[in-house]
Structures are given as C-alpha cells and as structure tokens.
Amino acid sequence: MKINLISESEFFPKGHGVHTAYLNHVAMLKKLNIEVVTNSLKKADVVHIETIGPLGLYKLLTSKKTVVSAHVIPASFEGSLIGSAYWLGAAKTYLRFFYNKASLVLAVGPKVKTQLNKLGVTQKIEIFPNAIDTIMFRNDEKLRILGRKHFGLNKDNKVVLSVGQVQIRKGIEDFIKIAQQLPKFTFIWVGNKPFKMLTAKSEELQQLLKSPPKNFILAGGVPYLRMPQVYNAADIFFLPSYQENASMAIIEAASCGLPLVLRDLAEYQLLYKEGYLNCSNNKEFKENIQGLFSDKKLFEKQSKASLLLAQKFSFEALGNKLLQYYQNL
C-alpha cells in the first residue's frame, strides 16, 4: 500500500501543530513499513490530506480514495486571524465543501467531530487523535541539562513552560499574569507568530510583550528536533489556552513526564478524561502551580499521570488504527 501525505505546511512558516501532526503521521507509517510519499502529484493507493489549501484541494478532487484530517474548524479562525468576523461565513462554506469531498474525515477529538456535524459535514467521520513519538519525547536527564543550558538556567531554577503560537487565544496574557504573581519561578513561552501581522489582536500582543516581568522568557520558535530538550528543561507544563482542538504540545509535555496545568475546556475532558490539573481561572492556575512545587507527592502523582496519558497517543497505540482506516476505504 502506498500512501501520499499532503501538507502545505511544508511550504509555509512552521511552528504550528498541524505541521507536527503531519510529520508524525509520516514517521508513524514508516515505522509500520508502509510506503509513504509526501506532496506528490503522482497516483497512490490512498491520499491523506492534512491541510485545506490549493494542493490539498487539487488532490482531494483528483484522487479516488482520500482521507482528510480535520485540523481546522471555524473556531480555529476566531481569535487567530484578524477580521475573521467578516469572512467566517465564506470559510464555513469552503470547509463544508472540502470535508464533504473526502472518502473519510478524521476528527482530532470528540468536540471537533461535533463541530463538523454542526457545520454540515455528512461524510463519514471517525475520531483519530494526533499521535506523538513517545521515544523521541521522553524524560531524560541529559536532555534536561542541554535544555537548561540553552535557556541559561541552573539546576535549581523552578521552571514553568508553555508551548504554542503567540496569540491571545492561547492564553499568553494569563501566562504572563501568573508569572508576575509567582516571581520566584521562571516562566518560559516557546512559540512564534506564524501569521505575523495577520494575527488577531496583534497590536494588543505587542503592548503586552513590551514590558514583561523579569522571570518571563519569550523564547520564540525552536526547531522540532530540539523540542525534547525544551520540555525536559521544564518542571511543569502550563497552557491557559481558551480554544484547542487537540494540542500536540500537551501530549509531548506529558510524554516527558511534566505535570499538566490546563484550562477547564470540554475538549480536554472528552479527549484526555484525566491525567491533568483542571483550572477554571487564574487563581486556580496559581494555586496548582504552587501546589506542585511545594508538594512532592502531588508532583510525582501528576508526573506519573502524564506518562500514562501520553501512552494513549503513542505511535504504537494509534499506528495500526490509521492503517485500518486506509484499508477499509
């Protein structure tokens, strides 16, 4: 069986989860000894499309057996790109058309499947979460030393990490507020603005980042292969995002054994069920971060819970399931 994986993220700025999901699908299939080509115009047994741009559309309309990973839903645009209120209707029409042309749609989580149904997608939809390489993303003391050296940290620094695009939607404002309230800890945000000035509330972001607290580091983008060092450099993973479909960073952090402090989002409850500390507001974020650093037993409990959670999203857990979807088309 020959699989052609299509992702226009290869041709545009990196630093977002869709590109990482695509890379992981390639790696996962290769581990199963499946013949994989990427962004090819030639025929394949199955074309698996990860992005909704012109190349994805062309292969969708010219291929017999197609799988589309639904990384994008209307909510993905709101709070991410400027002026979305003016063109969101057209985007919904396009997404509905695009997904309904697929032989099979893979929703990255239960909430995404619900949103696709509301959008009017009538093609078959299966829930298939993003997979991660749990061998690459692991708890490793050597990686911790390298990561801390990269950020100029010593072994005694207590580090809280977030990974994601620099957007108000991702909760970076709350992340900085908690950093201000907990000056003894180091807060690091890894990520960039792939959409530059098209990012929603770009001016508000610039003002926010003009005078951050001294214990806050905006690290920018980090190459994917160095991300295991980044996670291992930290003690806690804290993502106060207001909207997520299926964050790759959460599971990567979990696979490195970091306790997870997350906002109370329905998608997390449906997809993860447990294995993280669930917070409704900044007060709870602060209390849970303090609690993890002050209570060794709680820290160890949540670290173990993270490792167990990550195994559900490993290549081993999900690879054969994806292959079965292809075979059943």
pLDDT digits (tens, 9 = 90+) for 293-317: 999 999 999 999 999 999 999 999 9
Q: Could you give the C-alpha distances from 294 to 211, 289, 297, in angstroms and in order?
A: 29, 9, 9
The residue ranges of every structural domain in the chain are 2-131+314-327, 141-311
CB 54 within 8 A of CB 94: no
Structure token digits, residue 179: 């950093």
Query: How open is the CA angle 7-8-10, to the nearest 5 degrees?
Result: 85
Question: So what's the pLDDT on residue 208?
Answer: 73
Q: How far apart are CA 61 and CA 44, in angstroms?
A: 14
Question: So what's the pLDDT on residue 315?
Answer: 96
pLDDT digits (tens, 9 = 90+) for 51-68: 999 999 999 999 999 999
> Per-residue pLDDT for the chain (329 aa), expressed as one digit of tens each?
999 999 998 887 555 678 889 999 999 999 999 999 999 999 999 999 999 999 999 999 999 999 999 998 877 765 555 556 666 789 899 999 999 999 999 999 888 999 999 999 999 999 999 999 999 999 999 999 999 999 999 999 999 999 998 888 899 999 999 999 999 999 999 997 654 444 445 566 777 777 888 999 999 889 999 999 999 999 999 999 988 878 899 999 999 999 999 999 988 988 888 899 999 999 999 999 999 999 999 999 999 999 999 999 999 999 999 999 999 99
Starting at the edge strand found earlier in the chain, the sheet holding 159-163 runs: 216-220, 186-190, 159-163, 236-239, 260-263, 277-279
**Which H or E run includes 254?**
helix 248-255
Question: So what's the pLDDT on residue 202?
Answer: 58
Question: So what's the pLDDT on residue 84?
Answer: 60
Q: Is the dihedral of CA 264, 267, 269, 271 positive or negative?
A: negative
* Fold entry, domain 2-131+314-327: Rossmann fold (3.40.50)
* Homologous superfamily (CATH) for 141-311: Glycogen Phosphorylase B; (3.40.50.2000)
pLDDT digits (tens, 9 = 90+) for 84-128: 666 678 989 999 999 999 999 999 988 899 999 999 999 999 999
Domains 2-131+314-327 and 141-311 share a fold: yes
Could you tell me where the beta strands, DSSP code E, fall in 112-190? 125-127, 159-163, 186-190
